[in-house]
Amino acid sequence: MDEPAWLTIARELQAISQTGLTFSKDSFDLQRYQRIRELASSIFAEGSGVTTAKVLDLFSQELGYPTPKVDVRGAAFIDDKILMVREAGDGRWTLPGGWADVNQSAAECVVREIAEESGFESRVLKLSAVWDYSRQGHRPHHPASIYKMFFICELMGGDARPSVETTEVAFFARQSLPELSGGRITHAQIQRMFEHAARPDLPTDFD
């Protein structure tokens, strides 16, 4: 499902304003870019139900040239079942993962996330997909532009152990998936990870 027009417009206006506020030297132009940010915040607030002040505060924290954020997710399997964790935030399930950290490669980030959120040690076998969040049918929508990187991983040791971010760790068969955390993962993405695990020769998916 496509994103609503208000979200696409608000996100692009925010990116324009952030670029202008970063590079413009003219005081009048800076005022105009600040006004564009305020309008972007109003549009996002109108569509999402969040207050304009809260959105403006969120947008104002973004500095420098606007680029997509990076989210990493690890798909690991035992006996044709996929490793998943229950998120403490919404009580629903997802693949271990999260925002990429600085000074770590994407592969290092996903190995760390798997260890932190599930208790298992792992290694990366393959980059299976790089998808644009806005084109993958995620709910709820996110104000930022996001690239999601999915990796097929092999478990090397450890034991199932929840963390401060997760409340449960379990393995699920392809046809018996739990209720998903829609802002983090989709049913179609998990199904595709099963396909990549079964066929290591598949090329990396991308939008």
- Tens-place pLDDT, residues 47-98: 999 999 999 999 999 889 999 999 999 999 999 999 999 999 999 999 999 9
Token readout for 55 is 């959105």
Same domain, 99 and 143: yes
Contacts of 161 (CB under 8 A, 6+ apart): 118, 119, 169
Same domain, 10 and 56: yes
pLDDT value of residue 102: 92
Same domain, 102 and 191: yes
Q: How many domains does the chain have?
A: 2
Tell me if the bond preceding 140 is cis, omega within 30° of 0: yes
The mean of the pLDDT values for the chain is: 95
Same domain, 77 and 25: no
What is the arithmetic mean of pLDDT over 14-27? 96
Decide: helix, strand or coil at residue 166.
strand
Assess whether pLDDT exceeds 80 at residue 206: yes
Decide: helix, strand or coil at residue 187.
helix
Same domain, 50 and 82: no
Closest listed residue to residue 82, CA positions, set 120, 108, 46:
120
What is the arithmetic mean of pLDDT over 30-36? 97
Return the percentage of the chain with pLDDT > 70, whole number.
100
What residues make up the domain containing 29? 5-60
CATH number at residue 131: 3.90.79.10
Answer yes or no: are the C-beta atoms of 114 and 122 closer than 8 Å.
Answer: yes
Q: Where are the beta strands (DSSP E) in 88-145?
A: 93-94, 97-99, 120-132
CA 194 remoteness from chain centre? 19
pLDDT value of residue 3: 83
- Among candidate residues 14, 33, 60, the one where a domain is terminated: 60
Buried/exposed code over 106-134 (b: 16+ C-beta within 10 A; e: otherwise): bbebbbbbbbbbbbbebebbbbbbebebb
Same domain, 34 and 124: no
Return the percentage of the chain with pLDDT > 90, whole number.
94
Same domain, 56 and 77: no
pLDDT value of residue 143: 86
- Tens-place pLDDT, residues 159-181: 999 999 999 999 999 999 999 99
Answer yes or no: are the C-beta atoms of 22 and 65 closer than 8 Å.
Answer: yes
What is the arithmetic mean of pLDDT over 142-146? 89
